[in-house]
Amino acid sequence: MKLTTRFQLSIMMFLQFFIWGAWYVTMGTYLDKVLHATGVQVGAAYSAMAIATIFSPIFVGMIADRFFSAQKLLGVLHIAGALLLYYITRVDNPSFFYWVVLLYSLMYAPTLALANSVAFRQMNDPAKEFPSVRFLGTIGWIAVGWMIDKVFKLQTEQLAQTFIIAAVASGILGLLSFTLPDTPPKAKGTQTTFAKVLGADALVLFKDRSFTVFLIASILICIPLSFYYSFTNLYLTEAGMKNVTSSMTLGQFSEALFILLIPFFFRRLGVKWMIAIGMIAWAVRFLLFGYGDAAENLWMLFAGIILHGICFDFFFVTGQIYTDSKADIKIQSSAQGLITMATYGVGMWIGTLLSGYVKDHYTVDKIVTWKSVWLVPAGISVAVLLFFLVLFNEKRKTLKPV
């Protein structure tokens, strides 16, 4: 791959996740403190991305892959997204806010797959070349978190500006997308069925009991995951932690570190215990949040944030490797699409709605009993862990080496 192409793709990935990190992390705090939304309304806003994730494979698989060059569609969607991100700062009604963020999410979610498509099509050896390019996406998420706290020094009442930051970045990426290497539709002229786009080809994997258990556990573990995304920033703000948004980027630093260690642990622990450790980390994280505070137990809050690397990598990345190992080469793409839709789509959607109800249930006179809130996802994580340990029985020798 040419150095200029690598630079273009790296900038694309940096901005792709810079945009998402700009508004997604602080949206719960913005809705609660500025728009005075209920917990249910905050949960609904976060469910927008989950809903968009469910529909994204349909859009990309049946439309983008057949009719449009990926880089051009990427540009159009990001420019449209920039306009919506700017408009959302004018919305002061939490109920209407949901519909705008849903529309924006439907614009943004397909760009994740499109950006990957543009990158993969320019690479001679994706297995070696993609990680270094994708790493810039993590750097983009970290960079915007530090900018919000350290450069712009935004206070809670100024969080509407995070959408402006995202809008500017989205507009820049939209324009830059038209200069990216041409990535014509690869499925043009071929027959793509609705069932195939939904990953129906991968349903044959349900004949394997352990994979079925894994998929069910994946959906269920995304329910407590939603609590983290929806309310951690708000909780840490109310707890009195300083520079919350930049502090939360420690989770991305941890993610970048542990993803490099996955091959080492995978060979020694195997898929079952890798995934189980990820689930244990989720339960421990929520207990740390429940019993931590911004005074003597501040270390608990930071520990909960740093656990993100184990929580995310040991479960999701290991799960992707496991899915790839179980699927025949002809259905590997469908299998990955199925697991993505099940987790970030169905699981996250259920979790975002439940988290809102739980937060409201433990709110009296606008005072949230956060310990009780965090014990709910901790309990769910333990229940899913027990379900997984009892029923999952994968033979290590059947998996491809990592």
What pLDDT digit, counting tens, does each position of 122-139 carry? 888 776 787 788 889 989
Q: Quote the CA–CA distance of 77 and 91 in Å, as a whole number.
A: 21
User: Residue ranges of the domains in the chain?
Assistant: 1-188, 199-402
- Residue identified by tokens 């349903």 is 203
Query: Is the model more confident about 127 or about 106?
Result: 106
* Sequence letter at residue 384: V
Residue among 27, 41, 24, 48 at smallest CA distance from 345: 48
What pLDDT digit, counting tens, does each position of 229-247 carry? 999 999 999 999 999 999 9
Q: Quote the CA–CA distance of 79 and 73 in Å, as a whole number.
A: 10
Q: Is the dihedral of CA 259, 261, 263, 267 positive or negative?
A: negative
CATH class assigned to 1-188: mainly alpha
Q: Quote the CA–CA distance of 384 and 141 in Å, as a whole number.
A: 29
Query: Is the model more confident about 379 or about 110?
Result: 379
pLDDT at res. 194: 59
pLDDT at res. 339: 80
Which helix (H) or strand (E) covers residue 402, if one does? none
Q: What is residue 184's three-state secondary structure?
A: coil
Q: Quote the CA–CA distance of 57 and 21 in Å, as a whole number.
A: 22
pLDDT at res. 328: 76
**Looking at the predicted structure, is the pLDDT value of residue 10 above 60?**
yes
Task: Give me the DSSP letters along 47-108.
Answer: HHHHHHHHHHHHHIIIIIHHHS-HHHHHHHHHHHHHHHHHHHTT---HHHHHHHHHHHHHHH
Question: Where does residue 318 rank: exposed (0-12), middle (13-18), buried (19+ CB within 10 A)?
Answer: buried
Q: Which of 88-92, 184-188, 321-325 is the least confident region?
A: 184-188
**Looking at the predicted structure, is the pLDDT value of residue 225 above 70?**
yes
Q: pLDDT above 90 covers what percent of the chain?
A: 62
CB 349 within 8 A of CB 45: no
CB 192 within 8 A of CB 65: yes
The CATH number given to 199-402 is 1.20.1250.20
Q: What is residue 392's three-state secondary structure?
A: coil
- Residue identified by tokens 């530090």 is 146
Which residues, other chains included, contact 379 with Cβ-Cβ below 8 Å and sequence gap of 6+? Answer: none
pLDDT at res. 324: 73
pLDDT at res. 333: 59
pLDDT at res. 302: 97
Q: What is the mean pLDDT of the chain?
A: 88
* Both tokens assigned to 209: 């009991």
pLDDT at res. 135: 84
pTM of the model: 0.85
What pLDDT digit, counting tens, does each position of 268-315 carry? 888 899 999 999 999 999 999 999 999 999 999 999 999 998 998 888
Q: What is residue 148's three-state secondary structure?
A: helix
Residue among 143, 117, 99, 98 at smallest CA distance from 57: 117
Q: Which of 30-34, 139-143, 177-181, 324-328 is the least confident region?
A: 324-328
Residue 35 pLDDT class (50, 70, 90 cuts): very high
* Both tokens assigned to 65: 């892959």
Mean pLDDT of all residues in 335-346: 80
**Looking at the predicted structure, is the pLDDT value of residue 341 above 90?**
no
**Looking at the predicted structure, is the pLDDT value of residue 155 above 90?**
yes
**Looking at the predicted structure, is the pLDDT value of residue 57 above 80?**
no
What pLDDT digit, counting tens, does each position of 62-82 carry? 666 667 788 999 999 999 999
Beta partners for residue 364, in sequence order: 367
Domains 1-188 and 199-402 share a fold: yes
**Looking at the predicted structure, is the pLDDT value of residue 398 above 60?**
no
